[in-house]
Amino acid sequence: MTGTITSTSPADPARVLGEFPEAGAAAVGAALDAARAAAGDWGRGPAAARAAALHDAAEAVRAAGDDLVDLVVAEVGKPLVEARAELARGVAILRYHAQGALDPDGATYPSADGRTLLMARRYPLGVAGLITPWNFPVAIPLWKAAPALAAGNAVVWKPSPEAAAVADRLGGILATVLPAGVLSVVQGGGDAGAALVDGADGVSFTGSVGVGTRVALAATARGIPVQAEMGGLNASVVLPDADLAATAATVAAAAMGYAGQKCTATSRVVVVGDSAPFTDALVAAVDALVVGDPADAATVVGPVIRADAAAAVVAAAAAGGTVATGGERLDRPGWFVAPTVVTGVDPHADVAQREVFGPITAVLGVADADEAVRVTNDVEYGLVTALFTRDLDRALDLAGRFDTGMVKVNAPTSGVDLHAPFGGEKRSSIGPREQGKAARDFYTSTRTIAISPAGARA
C-alpha cells in the first residue's frame, strides 16, 4: 500500500466520508491474479449462470438504493434528483446486460466444400481493466462492468479517488452476488491505473484527454484492446425558427445541471441570426435554476468537485467575451460557482475551445446554418451536438454534417440511452463504442472456427 485516500464532500469539504487504503503495484497485481484465476470458470461456465448473477446484482443494487444515493450526493455533489436517476439507470444497465448474456455468441457461414461447419464465435478477453471517473460513480462503472461480466470476463476496477466511498460501497454490494475474484476494486491514483493497464487483457477508460491518451498508448504498446472516452465540447445549435422559451430552458439545464460536470453538457451555444433574444431567454432560464445543497430535491446546480474546478470556471469566464450572468464563486461553504453564461465569444477564444467541466456555457453568434456547422465542428472534440429547429428538412440535412458521435434534434446534449451506442469522434473517443449491443464488441474477441468431417481431404 502506498497511502490513504481521504474522501470529503464538495458541498462541505470539512466532512470526511471515509478513508481508503491506496493500492500499489503489488496490490493491483494480486487483484489481477485473482481475476485471472476466476475468469476461466466464469467465462467457460453457462451463460445462464452469468445472466442470473447479473440479475441478482441488479436487485442488490436496487435494494441498497437509498444508501447509495445518499453517498453519491455527499461524495460527488450530485443533486438528489439526478443521483436517484443514476441509481435507477445503474439497475437498468445490470438488467439489460443480464439478458445480453444470453444473446447469440456467433454466426455460421457457408463453407467452401459444403461439408465443413464454418463459424465465428465470440470469446471473452480474460481480465478487463476498468478506469472510471467520479462524476457518474454508479452508472459508468456499471455500463463497463456489466457487459464485460456478461461476456465472461473477470473485472478489476480502479475508480477515481474522488469517488472512493461510492466505489467501496458498490464494489461490496456486487461482491455479495458474484464469485470471488470475478470483480475486484483497487483504489488509487495514476500509479494504480498504470499497473492495471500493464496487467489487464483489455482496458476501458473514461476521463481526461491527457490521461486517456497515455492509457491508449500504453495499452497499444502491449497489444491489448483499449477503449477511451475523454470528454466533449458540445454545442447546441439554435436556428431562427426554434421555440425560444423551450430551447432556452433545455439548454440551460443541459449546460448547468450537476454544475455542468458531464462530458455531454452543453459548453457552447451557436445561435444563427440575431443572438440577443435567445441570449436573454437563456440568461433568464439559467438565473431561474436553483443553486444549493445537493441533498435538497429542488437543487439543480450543486457544487463543483474541487477548489481548482471552481477556480477554472471563474478564470474561463474572465478569459473572453462578456459575462451575462455568473462568473464568480458563491459565498458559502463548499465549492460552489454561480452558473455562468458568456456572450459575444469568438469561436477561437479559450472558453470556446477548451472543456472547462463546470457550470459555464459560451454563446456564439453566426450568420447562417453553414457557418454554424463550421463553428460547431472547429474544435478538437466530437461527442454530441444538439440542433434546435422546427424544420424537419433542415434537421435531416444538418444532422449528418456535424463531426460528433451523437446528434440530437430538439433535445439536450446531456443524457443518453443505455441501449444505444455511446461515443464520439476526434479527441472525444478512442476505440469501439460503449453501451448497448455495441459494448460486446470491445469485451470479446471473435475467432473463426472450421470443423470438417473426419477424413476430409486437405
* The Cα angle at residue 456 between residues 455 and 458, in degrees rounded to 5: 120
pLDDT digits 0-9 by tens, 287-310: 999 999 999 999 999 999 999 999
pLDDT at 320: 82
Half-sphere exposure of 431 toward its Cβ, with a 13 Å CA cutoff? 27
pLDDT at 457: 64
Distance CA(177)–CA(392), nearest Å, equals 48
Q: Which residues constitute the domain of residue 69?
A: 3-230+428-450
DSSP 248: H
Where residue 456 falls among pLDDT bands split at 50, 70, 90? low
Structural domains in the chain (count): 2
pLDDT at 151: 98
pLDDT digits 0-9 by tens, 231-252: 899 999 999 999 999 999 999 9
Residue appearing with cell numbers 477511451: 228
Half-sphere exposure of 51 toward its Cβ, with a 13 Å CA cutoff? 9
Asked if 238 and 373 sit in the same domain, the reply is yes
* The Cα angle at residue 285 between residues 311 and 394, in degrees rounded to 5: 105
* Residue 202 CA: distances (Å) to CA of 4, 40, 210, 225, 448: 27, 16, 19, 5, 20
pLDDT digits 0-9 by tens, 64-86: 999 999 999 999 999 999 999 99
Cβ neighbours for 234, distance < 8 A, ≥ 6 positions apart: 264, 265, 266, 267, 268, 381, 383, 384, 385, 386, 404, 413
Burial of 311 (0-12, 13-18, 19+ CB in 10 A): middle
Would residue 444 be called left, alpha or beta, if left means φ above 0 and alpha means ψ between -120 and 50 degrees? beta
| pLDDT mean over 423-438 | 96
Distance CA(67)–CA(395), nearest Å, equals 43
- In the predicted structure, residue 315 carries a pLDDT above the cut 60: yes
Which DSSP helix (H) or strand (E) runs through 170?
A: helix 164-175
Asked if 138 and 152 sit in the same domain, the reply is yes
- As annotated, the active-site residues are 229, 263
Asked if 287 and 187 sit in the same domain, the reply is no
Residue type, 409: V
For the record, the C-alpha cell of 39 comes out as 475468469
Asked if 440 and 333 sit in the same domain, the reply is no
Above pLDDT 90, what percent of the chain?
98
| pLDDT mean over 6-28 | 97
Distance CA(248)–CA(253), nearest Å, equals 9
pLDDT digits 0-9 by tens, 161-210: 999 999 999 999 999 999 999 999 999 999 999 999 999 999 999 999 99
The CATH number of whichever domain residue 164 belongs to comes to 3.40.605.10
Mean pLDDT, all residues of the chain: 96
| pLDDT mean over 427-454 | 96
| pLDDT mean over 281-288 | 98
Contact 32, 156 (CB under 8 A): yes
| pLDDT mean over 253-267 | 98
- In the predicted structure, residue 62 carries a pLDDT above the cut 50: yes
* Residue-by-residue DSSP string for 194-239: HHHHHH-SEEEEES-HHHHHHHHHHHHHHT--EEEE----EEEEE-
Asked if 433 and 357 sit in the same domain, the reply is no
Burial of 207 (0-12, 13-18, 19+ CB in 10 A): buried
- In the predicted structure, residue 95 carries a pLDDT above the cut 60: yes
The CATH number of whichever domain residue 331 belongs to comes to 3.40.309.10
Asked if 226 and 238 sit in the same domain, the reply is no
Asked if 351 and 223 sit in the same domain, the reply is no
Is residue 48 one of the residues assigned to a domain? yes
Asked if 115 and 249 sit in the same domain, the reply is no
Asked if 275 and 207 sit in the same domain, the reply is no
pLDDT at 455: 78
Asked if 223 and 243 sit in the same domain, the reply is no
Q: Where are the beta strands (DSSP E) in 394-454?
A: 406-409, 425-426, 429-430, 444-451
Contact 162, 76 (CB under 8 A): yes
pTM for the whole structure: 0.96
- In the predicted structure, residue 369 carries a pLDDT above the cut 50: yes
Q: Is residue 64 classed as helix, strand or coil in its secondary structure?
A: coil
- In the predicted structure, residue 458 carries a pLDDT above the cut 70: no
pLDDT digits 0-9 by tens, 107-165: 999 999 999 999 999 999 999 999 999 999 999 999 999 999 999 999 999 999 999 99
pLDDT at 1: 44
